[in-house]
């Protein structure tokens, strides 16, 4: 891989989703092509864009939506698209692997090659977001991808709430961070606010604490699965390395949000802030426990 370019043009796609695979894949492809026409070099699609967000409910039938990487129904199509357009595509999908199922992502480089597979680390479980029923906890560890357009760090949705995810990817050398998501309204009985603001603030915090660009792609529209209905609130955005939201779509807009990432400027700023210089990892042992007690063997 050549050196990280000084500037990269990122596109984060916001789109609605139906229960028809071909419809969703064709729409996603059209958005990628539109982003490439606008000069995008890295294009982020939303989480699990291949179907409705089925995790609203627990139904055995939805396991049938999962596929292995080998012979996958659309990963190869996006590899060809990446090669044709010369763009990097971090691509979310529902993975079947033996008897296990994962909420996964492959990163496709600009030549169409697969750089590897990431399995979502943090799996939520709550009304309307019943992911633990479907997905095994990810076993790949956090990943960064050395692409034609820089070292890309990608978490998946619930991962975006964890500062540990962002910090590990930055320690591994990520030039910027991306998060494909599927998030919106909560069922009436849930006390969590139906607001995109907290969602954005969590990721903006990662941008500040790591002096890095952060981009998130969300879906839009109202989806009914079983007896439940959710409205996804959009607000796909890009934050710069100081935590300013520099580009954002609304709650109903569909399309590609395109913005320049000035990676050389971010790298210089990051070094000057000293966050990575002043870290004290030898004192962070409590982070390796679940109850805050550092245990010694």
pLDDT digits (tens, 9 = 90+) for 176-185: 999 999 999 9
Structural domain for 86, as ranges: 8-288
Q: Which of 78, 47, 52 is nearest to 65 (CA)?
A: 52
Q: Determine whether 55 is an active site residue.
A: no
Does 111 reside within a domain? yes
Predicted confidence (pLDDT) per residue in 169-222, tens digit: 999 999 999 999 999 998 877 777 778 999 999 999 999 999 999 999 999 999
Active-site residue, selected from the candidate residues 9, 47, 55, 143: 47
pLDDT of residue 297: 60
Looking up tokens 């050549």 gives 2
Report how far residue 66's alpha carbon sits from residue 79's, in angstroms, rounded to the nearest whole number: 19
Contact (CB, 8 A) for 182 and 128: no
Which of 55, 120, 131, 248 is an active site residue?
A: 120
Q: Which two tokens stand for residue 271?
A: 């070094």
Q: Region 62-69: what's the mean pLDDT?
A: 98
Q: What's the CATH number where 44 sits?
A: 3.60.110.10
Is the Cβ–Cβ distance between 93 and 50 less than 8 Å? yes
- State the number of CA atoms in the 13 A half-sphere of 134 facing the CB: 31
Task: Please check whether residue 58 lies inside any domain of the structure.
Answer: yes
Catalytic residue list contains 157: yes
The C-alpha atoms of residue 168 and residue 177 are separated, in whole angstroms, by 11
Question: What would the pLDDT profile of 74-94 be if each residue is shown by its tens digit?
Answer: 999 999 999 999 999 999 999
Confidence (pLDDT) at 164: 98
For residue 295, CA distances in Å to 285, 288, 291, 292 come to 8, 9, 10, 9
Asked if residue 263 is part of any domain, the answer here is yes
Provide the whole-model pTM: 0.96
Active-site residue, selected from the candidate residues 95, 130, 157, 248 = 157
Whether 94 maps to a domain, the answer reads: yes
Asked if pLDDT for residue 294 goes beyond 90, the answer is no
Number of domains in the chain: 1
Could you tell me if residue 115 is inside a domain? yes
Mean pLDDT (the chain) is 96
What pLDDT does 2 receive?
58
Cα gap 17→171, rounded to integer Å: 35
Q: Is residue 269 part of a domain?
A: yes
Ramachandran region, residue 70 (left: φ > 0; alpha: ψ -120 to 50; beta: rest) = beta
Residues 226-233 have a mean pLDDT of 93
Stretch 37-66: mean pLDDT: 98
Average pLDDT over residues 13-30: 98
**CA atoms lying within 13 Å on the CB side of residue 80:** 5
User: To which residue do tokens 């169409």 refer?
Assistant: 112
Q: Which two tokens stand for residue 229?
A: 């209905």
DSSP-derived secondary structure for 93-110: EEEEETTEEEEEEEEE-T
Within-domain flag for 195: yes
End-to-end CA distance of the chain: 41
Position 2 in a domain: no
pLDDT of residue 189: 78
Model confidence at 282, pLDDT cuts 50, 70, 90, reads very high
**What are the CA-CA distances from residue 7 to residues 10, 155, 172, 263, 291 (Å)?**
10, 22, 20, 5, 42
């Amino acid at each position: 891989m050549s050196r990280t370019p000084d500037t990269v043009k990122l596109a984060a796609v916001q789109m609605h989703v139906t229960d028809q695979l071909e419809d969703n894949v064709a729409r996603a492809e059209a958005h990628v092509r539109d982003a490439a026409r606008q000069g995008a070099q890295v294009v982020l699609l939303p989480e699990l864009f291949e179907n409705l967000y089925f995790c609203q409910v627990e139904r055995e039938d939805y396991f049938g939506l999962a596929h292995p990487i080998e012979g996958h129904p659309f990963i190869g199509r996006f590899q060809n698209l990446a090669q044709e357009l010369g763009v990097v595509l971090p691509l979310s999908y529902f993975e079947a692997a033996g008897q296990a199922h994962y909420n996964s992502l492959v990163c496709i480089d600009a030549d169409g090659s697969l750089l590897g597979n990431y399995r979502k680390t943090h799996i939520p479980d709550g009304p309307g977001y019943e992911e633990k029923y479907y997905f095994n906890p990810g076993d790949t560890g956090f990943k960064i991808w050395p692409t034609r357009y820089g070292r890309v760090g990608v978490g998946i949705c619930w991962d975006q709430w964890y500062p540990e995810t962002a910090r590990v990817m930055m320690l591994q050398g990520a030039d910027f961070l991306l998060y494909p998501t599927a998030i919106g309204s909560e069922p009436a009985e849930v006390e969590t606010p139906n607001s995109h603001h907290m969602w954005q603030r969590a990721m903006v915090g990662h941008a500040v604490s790591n002096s890095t660009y952060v981009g998130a792609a969300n879906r839009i529209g109202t989806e009914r699965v079983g007896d439940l209905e959710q409205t996804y609130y959009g607000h796909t955005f890009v934050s710069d390395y100081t935590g300013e939201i520099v580009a954002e779509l609304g709650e109903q807009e569909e399309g590609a949000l395109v913005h320049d990432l000035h990676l050389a400027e971010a790298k210089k700023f990051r070094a000057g802030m000293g966050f990575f210089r002043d870290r004290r990892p030898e004192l962070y042992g409590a982070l390796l426990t679940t109850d805050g007690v550092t245990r010694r063997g």
